A and B are shown apart, each in its own frame.
Chain A
Amino acid sequence: MREGWLLTLGGGSGQRRCRRGLLQPAARRALAWGLALELVRIGLLAQETPPADSVQRLQEELRQLRQQFEQVQREQGEQIRALERQIESLRAAPPVESGAPSEPGAPPSPPRAATPPSAEPATAAPAPADSNLGVSPVPPAASWSPTQPIPVIQSGQAYMNLSFKMLGTVGASTASDASEELELGHHDPAGRGFTLQHGELALDGAVDPYLRGFANIGMSIDPEGETHVGLGEAYLLTTSLPANLQLKAGQFLAEFGRQNTQHAYQWDFVDQPLVLNRLLGPHSLRNPGARLSWLAPTPFYTETMLGVFNGEGHSAFSYRAPGDEATHGRTPLDRGLRGPGDLLFVPRVATSFDLTDTQTLVTGVSAAFGPNNSGEHARSEIYGLDWYWKWKPAHAEHGFPFLAWQTEGLYRRYEAGADPVRGLPAEDLEDWGLYSQVLWGFTRRWVAGLRGEWVDGNAGAHDALDRFRGERVRISPNLTFYPTGFSKVRLQYNLDDGDRFGTEHSVWLQGEFLLGTHGAHKF
Chain B
Amino acid sequence: MNPSKRSFLRRAGHGMALLAAAAAFASPLVNAAKLKVVTTTADFAAIARDIGGDRIEVASLAKPTEDSHFVDAKPSLILKLNRADVLIEGGAELEIGWLPALMDSTRNPRIHRGSPGNVLANEGIAMLDVPAVLDRSMGGVHAMGNPHIMTDPVNARILAEHLARVFSQLDAQSSEFYRANFQRFSDELDAKLAEWQQRLAPFKGRRIVAYHDSWPYFARRFGLRIDLFLEPKPGIPPTPPHLAQVIQTMQQEKINLIFVEPHLNWRTAETVARQTGATAVLVSQFPGGVKGTEGGYIPLIEHLVDTVAKNLKAP
Contacts and interface: CB of A to CB of B under 8 A. Distances in A.
B201 A241 contact: no
Interface in B196-245: 197-198, 201-202, 204-205, 219-223, 225, 227, 235-237
Interface string B106-129: 010100111000000001111110
Contacts of A117: 154, 157, 186
Contacts of B105: 246, 295
Contact of A152 (B104, B130, B157, B161): B130
A117 B152 CA distance: 13
A523 B74 contact: yes
Nearest to A138: B126
A485 B235 CA distance: 10
B35 interface: no
B223 A94 contact: yes
A149 B221 contact: no
Contacts of B182: 114
B205 A154 contact: no
Contacts of B144: 152-156
Contacts of B125: 119-120, 150
A92 B98 CA distance: 37
Nearest to B80: A301
A91 B225 CA distance: 7
B308 to A, nearest CB: 14
Interface string A492-513: 0000000000000000000000
B77 to A, nearest CB: 8
Interface stretch (B49-57, B60-68, B248-256): B60-68
Contacts of A92: 205
A150 B126 contact: yes
Contact of A93 (B139, B154, B198, B223): B223
A486 interface: yes
Interface in A73-104: 91-97, 99-101, 103-104
A60 interface: no
B73 A520 contact: yes
A230 interface: no
Contacts of A134: 126-128, 130
B309 interface: no
Given A362-B75, A395-B262, A520-B101, A111 B112 contact: no
Given A91-B205, A101-B198, A484-B236, A522 B101 contact: yes
B143 A155 contact: yes
A519 interface: yes
Interface stretch (A21-29, A166-174, A311-319): A21-29
Given A117-B186, A523-B73, A97 B107 contact: no
Interface stretch (A51-59, A323-331, A396-404): A396-404
B171 interface: no
A94 B220 contact: yes
B73 A399 contact: no
B220 A520 contact: no
A118 interface: yes
B176 interface: no
A244 interface: yes
A96 B123 contact: no
B97 interface: yes
Interface stretch (B9-17, B23-31, B187-195, B295-303): B187-195
B96 A135 contact: no
A397 B265 contact: yes
Contacts of A301: 75-76, 78-79
A300 interface: yes
A21 B65 CA distance: 34
A518 B70 CA distance: 13
B277 interface: no
Nearest to B217: A135
A341 to B, nearest CB: 30
A445 interface: yes
B126 A111 contact: no
B191 A352 contact: no
A196 interface: no
A394 interface: yes
A140 to B, nearest CB: 9
Contact of B136 (A152, A445, A486): A486
Contacts of A99: 190, 193-194
A350 B125 CA distance: 41
A70 B104 CA distance: 49
B117 to A, nearest CB: 13
A154 B124 contact: no
B182 to A, nearest CB: 7
Contact of B67 (A105, A149, A295, A399): A399
A395 B112 contact: no
B220 A135 contact: yes
B88 to A, nearest CB: 12
B162 A146 contact: yes
B194 A100 contact: yes
A155 to B, nearest CB: 3
Contacts of B265: 397, 444
Contact of A521 (B101, B130, B190, B193): B101
Contacts of A518: 96-97
B134 A25 contact: yes
B140 interface: yes
Given A97-B193, A484-B140, A518-B97, A396 B76 contact: no
Contacts of A108: 191, 194-195, 198
A398 B123 contact: no
A224 B42 CA distance: 55
A394 B107 contact: no
A112, A300, A398: residue with the most chain B Cβ atoms closer than 10 Å: A398
A350 B101 CA distance: 17
A305 B262 CA distance: 40
Nearest to A29: B133
Contacts of B131: 154
B264 A397 contact: yes
B168 interface: no
B132 interface: yes
A168 B60 CA distance: 39
A246 B262 CA distance: 38
Contact of B124 (A111, A119, A362): A119
A153 B123 CA distance: 10
A390 interface: yes
Given A120-B154, A395-B65, A521-B101, 4 more contacts: A101-B197, A120-B125, A120-B126, A146-B123
7 contacts: A96-B197, A97-B197, A108-B191, A212-B104, A246-B107, A360-B72, A399-B70
Closest 5 CB pairs of A and B: A108-B194, A155-B143, A111-B190, A104-B201, A352-B75
Interface of B: 63, 65-67, 69-70, 72-76, 78-79, 82, 93, 96-102, 104-105, 107, 109, 112-114, 123-128, 130-134, 136, 139-140, 143-145, 154, 157-159, 161-162, 165, 179, 182-183, 186-187, 190-191, 193-195, 197-198, 201-202, 204-205, 219-223, 225, 227, 235-237, 262-265
